[in-house]
Structure 1
Amino acid sequence: MVRENRLVSYRARIDPATTQALACRSAITWALALLLVWLTIASVAAETIAVRSALVRPTEDALVIDAEFDITLTAPLEAALLRGTPLYFALDTEITRRRAYWFDDSLPSAQSVRRLTYSPLTSSYRVDTGRTLSGSANYPTLEEALRQIRLIRGRSLIDKKELRNGAIYEVSIRLRLDTTQLPKPLQVNTLVSREWSLISDWYRVVVTP
């Protein structure tokens, strides 16, 4: 009889407010778990440009870079390309001179842009470097066209006379899809879906000319 009274007394302490709080906490836990899964999937899907290698080397006149990237177009971007939307890939570079007792000194560096298009009439892909007409070429497959974008050879970064002998320089590079060049309706997609934004992490190389 005493045990029954204790059981009844214990149950009486579990009021509706406590039950509601526990249910709310459980719902929040599930929501956070689903958010974590979504972010993980989105992060994996967004890894469509990666730096494979990069080498900064001096020549007689300039500091140049050789680099190689891995590029994978997402399904929406490839579909847009086949419908006639040009894709612009920008190689961003930053050069800083390290200083021991002051802030690092930033040096000017030019941006390199390559334009990828598709021609349904010839079923071929075209890559334009933006420098000269001789820098444009057609390719029968998307893989061959992307190879011309992901391989950087002898890209001039800065004139050698702008550098100081014995100084330490940090060169940072990344490759990205320039979404500002997309048509306005497609630019909206970049705000709601990561499949429309391709960008690599910054890759840093330290060099002493």
Structure 2
Amino acid sequence: MRSLKSVLFNKAVRWLVFVGLAGLLRVAAAQGAVDLSQFEVERGPDEVTVSAQLQFELSSTVEDALLKGIPMVFVAEAEVLKERWYWSDKSMGSATRQFRLAFQPLTRRWRLNVSTGPGPATGLGLALNQSYDTLPQALSAIKRISRWKVANTSDLDPSQRYRLEFRFRLDLGQLPRPFQIGALGQSEWDVALARFVILAPEAAK
């Protein structure tokens, strides 16, 4: 069994890494990478939901890759955590949504596959396929997240506070290997954001 000192140290490192990543991604967003014009977390009678409106533009490098037939996969993740000073934070619910965007040369249309399910696995649960005439139309569907269920309210203690972490990124790990190597450390491929909010106890509202 791990010692209390080890647990506290690992917890502190995890928190510092997340806060540091969030700070770096906010800087990137300020430079035009990704931002949020809307971000709302609702702790309703039955479920905790997330609504968000993302703002970002793809670089010419990413667009060129899409036009050459390379699909791009964007991933949104949300997780409700119970903070515990004596142990790792406990996950109370999570969800993952995967957006696979591809250009169809024969029809000159954009194909978007959206799969959603419980985190951390992607590609599980419900799936939706939609075609669009233009890239901006397809990106608009990716940027808009409406009342996305993350956790069941019945699993949360009304007297406790929780932390909701939200992340969005272009998943470079799903690119073909040559593109993964070329994209490593290149700002043209930076499409990522991390935010967190505190869900206050119901009695404190």
| Superposition TM-score, scaled by structure 1 size | 0.71
> Conserved in 2, the CA contact under 8 Å of 1:93 and 1:174?
yes
d(CA) in 2 for partners of 1:47, 1:68: 15
Deviation at 1:196, TM superposition (A): 2.0
Q: Report the equivalent of 1:123.
A: 108
DSSP 3-state at the match of 2:66: helix
Listed one character per residue, the Cα deviations across residues 105-146 of structure 1 (whole Å, up to 9, x for unaligned) are 33141221111111111211121112545x211111111100
Stretches of 4+ aligned residues off by more than 4 angstroms? 43-46, 101-104
Counterpart in 2 of 1:144? 137
Which residue matches 2:16?
none
Q: CA RMSD in A?
A: 2.4
Equivalent in the alignment of 1:37: none
Task: Show the counterpart of 1:154.
Answer: 147
Describe the SS at the equivalent of 1:57. strand
The equivalent residue for 2:35 is 50
Separation in 2, partners of 1:180, 1:126 = 20
| Match of residue 3 from structure 2 | none
Q: Any conservation in 1 of the 2:39–2:50 contact (CA below 8 Å)?
A: yes
Q: Which one of the candidate residues 74, 77, 84 is aligned to 2:69?
A: 84
Q: Secondary structure at the match of 2:137?
A: helix
Identity over the aligned pairs, expressed in percent?
Answer: 27
Tell me the number of residue pairs that the alignment of Structure 1 and Structure 2 aligns: 165
How much has 1:44 moved relative to structure 2?
8.1
Whole-Å Cα distance in 2 between the matches of residues 204 and 44 of structure 1?
15
Distance in structure 2 (CA, Å) of the matches to 1:51 and 1:104: 29
Greater helix fraction, Structure 1 or Structure 2: 1
Q: Which has the larger Rg?
A: 1
**Which consecutive unaligned segments of at least 5 residues does structure 2 have?**
1-27, 117-125
Give the C-alpha shift of residue 58 in structure 1.
2.6
- Determine if the alignment matches structure 1 residue 75 to structure 2 residue 60: yes
Query: For the Cα contact (< 8 Å) 2:29–2:35, is it kept in 1?
Result: no
CA distance in 2, matches of 1:192, 1:98: 33
2:186 aligns with 193
**Letter paired with 1:153:** S
Residue 49 of structure 2 aligns to a residue whose secondary structure is strand
Q: Structure 1 residues 45 and 62 mapped into 2: Cα distance closer, same or farther (>3 Å)?
A: closer
**Structure 1 residue 181 and structure 2 residue 179: aligned?**
no
Q: Is the CA contact 1:52–1:69 (under 8 Å) kept in the aligned structure 2? A: yes
Scaled by the length of structure 2, the TM-score of the pair is 0.72
